[in-house]
Structure 1
């Protein structure tokens, strides 16, 4: 096999080795090595997308007999993909160790997308409680499973947010680069902790108020982290757009990520207030001034108002992202890439907010808009799946035999 030398990624942590002292890399790799070595966190967006579609199908205002079956199928797709992708990611860190670590952390985009892993975990934890615990064969045992998973995921997500931003601070990686829109994903992840916590507190079978209330309180704190962190980052990102214009055509769909912090936070405050009031968690707990039935009703009203504010901002970001895509399409520069996955989850969060409005306001308009958006998201998911499979079959995605890390010698040979 032909080999070439590459730079040792450990040198980025302070090692002064020269590129010529680095390890050898094969120019042409086996399919398994290519799969593992090039695997990045962006693939977990497939899990996130399948998961949020499962939640929306399960709670859709207009139900028919097979819709819960389709929701369960989407949940199983989410679970299977998460398991496979997690095994591949763990294998990459075990096999390539320092190289894998520095390749991800030295890339701002991949560092931010690393939050997709715990986000996908949190969505599965909520689906375990929403779907599995309410089946005849599931029950309360799976409520406890999902509940424990949620607390593990909460610690994971908060730890990753701190890790991502502390890494950026310590390495000063942004001084010579434009921040990508994906930088908001860790903030979205913390807001997702809140939304999934609200789902568990509201719909888990047999969950007591004693267990639900701590989830609600921590989730409200996470909403605050998600909102304020996103606002700070919005300022930087919007200034970058004013200064440099749209992202490059291959990444133009990343503009949809701007929707997620507002959509997810709007959904979170609504589902948490519903857990406190409609589902009686505060009444069942009944301690102090805040954790009472009398406090739950005004809290619900305030959260609906706050949700309307944030959803309005989410709609504006969605319109801006749509215009960006249409402008590139008009110029003939719009083409599919894996970044198209960034359309579904952000719009799914906004759709979840609309779904909750349709319940809280008994609004036919919100019900129709929610249903239309869910259909659109499912179509985009299948469109992405088609192009992904097509690109994988051509050897251009996921399994690329030619090693991009291979370097040519000065004489041009490898």
Structure 2
């Protein structure tokens, strides 16, 4: 229906000439300009590149084993994230400006694209973490970038909640999951609110000179967010796990999507640990010192409780990671595994668990967790580079990002052919 309305709405091609005619019916041309193809097909999946580069920038910046040049690599990931976010946001907004209701209808009618809209605020959250972490601690940044990161966090918190509500309300109104397999991407909005929590903890803990007066409201709201992320993530994971038990692994092309199960567990565990540290280690509750909860005395057991719950979530996150690796290896042995853009789903969810490992290494002074963290960072950077190489190759071949042949027109012509 989205495609048909688009054709009826736009009966002329980009140059202003009459559209092609076949059997007396008007339709747009099968071949499009490169710009039109880029904008018309641009989906929220592309924001996973911002998410992946942003989280790798954070991991390399906080890696337990530092060497000369690693901070430069972190800065490169940050700049890459920033540039991609600006460019992709402009293209995504252009899609709705140019195609309006048809673009909106295509997104909300897709059970995959709809939850992937949560990737947009998550991408912004990676910048919200890295901007104060890198810029406020530089000699030229300081408090101005701390305030910038603080404001960005409140914007991203509201944005993530709005997207979460919109996605699930739209799902309830438009989609019925009784007879179809619900995509694993439906977990992403839960990951987004957990990402709000861990980002808030990073902003108030690792930014330059954040006062307890500014920090405590962020910590309180972040605890609410991580609770929402844990509970919603567990509920959705239960439903999706039932699908795996009753219907088996997802199709071969969607094998990497199983890694998304890791996201709510890893991100929530990391958020809890960093929030506990913000309250106790960084002295935000002690500096605020009001009531019975916002005190230094309450911060100590709170920090311990956060670490304990984080360990429980870590165990579940590790199981999901092992299951995800298993399905990839199984498909590889059956020669059913081939690269596709969905492989971007590997990096960010796994990186949330690695972030949690890095916090556990600090909390326990654990050499084992430090080694695991460093090894996983190397693996994730390797996967990122592999994805980048395949993506650039596909773009150069015209199979991705700029696909001149309009799939909407192609589908319509195929349907017309069947009706003859």
What is the TM-score normalised by the length of structure 2? 0.93
Shift of 1:176: 3.0
CA contact (8 A) 1:52 1:345 kept: yes
Who is 2:5 aligned against? 8
Q: CA separation in 2, counterparts of 1:10 and 1:242? A: 41
Q: State the SS of the aligned residue for 1:97.
A: helix
Question: Which deviations, in whole Å up to 9, do the C-alpha atoms of 1:170-226 show, x marking residues without a partner?
Answer: 113323321111110000000000000000010111111101100000000000110
Who is 2:45 aligned against? 42
CA contact (8 A) 1:9 1:102 kept: no
Question: Which deviations, in whole Å up to 9, do the C-alpha atoms of 1:28-49 show, x marking residues without a partner?
Answer: 0011100000001010000000
Q: CA separation in 1, counterparts of 2:417 and 2:85? A: 44
Shift of 1:25: 2.9
Question: Which deviations, in whole Å up to 9, do the C-alpha atoms of 1:235-254 show, x marking residues without a partner?
Answer: 11011111111111111000
Who is 1:327 aligned against? 330
Who is 2:385 aligned against? 382
Unaligned runs of 5+ in 2: 9-22
CA contact (8 A) 1:128 1:146 kept: yes
Shift of 1:69: 1.1
Pick the aligned partner of 2:208 from 205, 208, 214: 205
Q: State the SS of the aligned residue for 1:8.
A: helix
- How has the CA–CA distance of structure 1 residues 289 and 235 changed in structure 2, closer, same or farther, with 3 Å as cutoff? same
- How has the CA–CA distance of structure 1 residues 78 and 23 changed in structure 2, closer, same or farther, with 3 Å as cutoff? farther
Q: CA separation in 2, counterparts of 1:161 and 1:36? A: 25
1:231 matched to 2:234? The reply is yes
Q: Which moved more, 1:61-70 or 1:90-99?
A: 61-70
Question: Which deviations, in whole Å up to 9, do the C-alpha atoms of 1:85-132 show, x marking residues without a partner?
Answer: 000001001001111101111111110110000001011011111111
Q: CA separation in 1, counterparts of 2:416 and 2:156? A: 48
CA contact (8 A) 2:7 2:27 kept: no
Who is 1:173 aligned against? 176
- How has the CA–CA distance of structure 1 residues 24 and 146 changed in structure 2, closer, same or farther, with 3 Å as cutoff? farther
Q: State the SS of the aligned residue for 1:246.
A: coil
- How has the CA–CA distance of structure 1 residues 9 and 162 changed in structure 2, closer, same or farther, with 3 Å as cutoff? farther
1:303 matched to 2:300? The reply is no
Q: State the SS of the aligned residue for 2:383.
A: helix
Shift of 1:385: 0.1
Who is 1:254 aligned against? 257
Within-5 A mapping of 1:234-245:
234-245=237-248
Who is 1:294 aligned against? 297
CA contact (8 A) 1:263 1:347 kept: yes
* Aligned-pair Cα RMSD in Å: 1.9
- How has the CA–CA distance of structure 1 residues 345 and 411 changed in structure 2, closer, same or farther, with 3 Å as cutoff? closer
Who is 2:189 aligned against? 186
Within-5 A mapping of 1:147-162:
147-162=150-165
Pick the aligned partner of 1:278 from 270, 276, 281: 281
CA contact (8 A) 2:204 2:278 kept: yes
Q: CA separation in 1, counterparts of 2:197 and 2:141? A: 24
Unaligned runs of 5+ in 1: 12-19
- How has the CA–CA distance of structure 1 residues 10 and 229 changed in structure 2, closer, same or farther, with 3 Å as cutoff? farther
Q: CA separation in 2, counterparts of 1:173 and 1:345? A: 28
Who is 1:17 aligned against? none
Q: CA separation in 1, counterparts of 2:26 and 2:34? A: 20
Who is 2:19 aligned against? none
Shift of 1:10: 11
CA contact (8 A) 1:9 1:103 kept: no
Within-5 A mapping of 1:333-372:
333-372=336-375
